[in-house]
Structure 1
Amino acid sequence: MKTRELAFLTWILLPLIAMTGSALAEEAKLSLRELENKVRGGWAGQMIGVAVGGPTEFRAQASTYDKPLSWDPKLMRSVLRQDDLYVEMTFCQVLDTVGLDAEPVHFGVAFGLSRYRLWHANLVGRHNIRHGIMPPDSGHPKYNAHADDIDFQIEADFIGLMCPGMPWTAAQYADRVGHVMNYGDGVYGGVFVSAMYAAAFFERDPRKIVEVGARALHPRSKYGQLIRDILDVHQRDPDNWLTAWKMVEEKWANRDACPYGALRPFDIDAKTNGGYI
């Protein structure tokens, strides 16, 4: 095993095993019907979120969106045109065809062959792959100026949904997939989201779910620091989400390394948007 891979697994597995030791000693069960219901619910929730959120995307920059949200089932007709979903379909297909042992190169090749529209880290990552720069280099900041962007974070849901109650397994898969287009905090975004999805199969307390996601992050990473800041603010003021939002804006915003968003209110930095989650 490569040193980088061993170090990553050490950061991920040790805190998660320590945190969930009691759970590992116990047996948690879901019936097939319950499992199917939760998986379907996870996909439905993601699709509905994209359908409702799509029309409001980038409408509030460095501000909260205070207008009412409207729902119309017809909005669902547009969801498969969202990269949040169709990129995930590519990676799911890799797991279907190659199997659960699929390596980063398998995800990279499939991504390179895709023909749908992409932006930012996804677009540059695919361009790199098509020109022979394979994962993890395709997402590395040396070759991808969007390495810390939100791309993998919005495309990692499927990993958590395929790892019910296994956040440490979700983190390992996120490491395999995320370097196709991202690196560093950009990958941690997917680790964070997928670990929370996995935990939510058995945990209903939102704070505890976030704590699981936080444990999956390297403690010295900026992403991990931001999420701990969020948890600290919530501990002090649990009933006012605006307190946390203001903290993120004051301490962490305007650090977007994306060439398009740098020094502008436009912000697709993974860790900042992870705080908004």
Structure 2
Amino acid sequence: MSVSNTTNFANPSTFILQGIPGLETAHGWISIPFCIMYIIALVGNFTILFIVKIEPSLHEPMYYFLCMLAVTDLVLCTSTLPKTLSIFWFNSKEIDFGSCLIQMFFIGSFLAMESGIIVAMALDRYVAICHPLRHSSILTNSVVARIGLAMVLRSCIVSLPYPLLARQWPYCHTNVISHSFCEMMAVVKLSCTDTSLSNYYGLIVTLLVAVMDVFSVTVSYTQICVTLSLYIPVLFTVFTHRFGLHVPLYFHILIANLYLILPPMLNPIIYGVRTKQIRDRLLRHMTQTK
């Protein structure tokens, strides 16, 4: 495997992902909790989708939003964790340039989508508590579908400029990414052109999305554990990259990986297992299959 350090190219055919620089000897050990969390995320979210699908009584707005969240979580963690684990286990560090841009888009769009769906779930709880008699007439299936579509469109619109800008940059220094996945700012640092537009755009979009969504959730209700596990690591990463905080690179990359796996792992527990209707249906189904 060759690593380019001082070549000149407009777009490299591949990037090299380093994993977690400084902790290479511990990659095997780090992979264990990452793999466990990924398995929990897969099992938990697929369970949510299965239970809601087979139970007609759960075909309500709250559970539709929960299914949207489960799908978002599955895509979010699957877009990065398999490649990260392949780096840890098999030293498979190469990633195609186009695949890197696609991964970058998926990370940005599905993070924004998850945030938006949490806001939609908070809206559902607000209507259920404050307007219980009108809940079914306010949040109809068509309204739920439109809210879901709006979340998808918002996420795609704000995330699409990232790979489009990255595709235009010349990379004349190196194709080695000091990260375990194609994180936007890790790729930005490889460019030898002015990336101020990308830096400002990313900062503004992150703050606007985070501030608006946190405010909306706070107005309706607070699920502190999931909210903090999503927003705080994201904001930490954004500010560390842009303001040069003296944070060890390995710590920064670990935090970046956690905000992609912790919410997908915790959401089925927070929103699924703690929901009596889903818990009862799951226990009943498990009892019937024995």
The alignment's TM-score, normalised by the length of structure 2, stands at: 0.29
The alignment's TM-score, normalised by the length of structure 1, stands at: 0.30
* Larger helix percent: 2
Which entry has the higher C-alpha Rg, 1 or 2?
2
